[in-house]
Amino acid sequence: MATADFIPAGRTARVKQGPHELQIQTEYANRPNPRLTTSVISGGQVIHKIQQDLAAPISSLEEMSKVETMLRKQHLEVMDIVSRRDFSKDLTVKEKPRIKARSLSLAKRLASISGVENVFHVNNDGRFESSGVSEEFKKRYAPIFKSLYEVLDIFSQLPGGKREKGVCEIEPNRLYLASTGLECYFLLTRRVIRDTDMESEIQAALDK
Tell me, yes or no, if the pTM score tops 0.85. Answer: no
Beta strand 11-17 with 20-29: parallel, antiparallel or unpaired? antiparallel
- Tell me the helices (H) and strands (E) count for the chain, helix number first: 6, 10
Give Cα 196 distance to the centre of its chain.
27
Rg (CA), the chain: 19
Task: Assess contact for 17 and 87: CB atoms under 8 A.
Answer: yes
The predicted structure's pLDDT at residue 185: 94
- Give the integer Cα–Cα distance in Å for 129 and 8: 17
The three-state secondary structure class of 81 is helix
In the prediction, which pLDDT does 102 show? 44
pLDDT (0 to 100) of residue 96: 44
Measured CA to CA, the distance from residue 26 to residue 28 in angstroms comes to 7
Q: Give buried/exposed letters for 83-95 (b at 16+ CB in 10 A, else e).
A: eeeebeeebebee
pLDDT averaged over 10-residue windows placed end to end, the chain, 208 residues: 70 81 88 86 83 86 89 88 61 44 67 89 88 86 91 92 93 92 92 78 88
The 3-state DSSP composition of the chain as helix, strand, coil percent (nearest 5) reads 35, 30, 35
Report the alpha-carbon distance of residue 110 to residue 100 in Å, rounded: 16
CA 78 vs. chain centroid, Å, equals 11
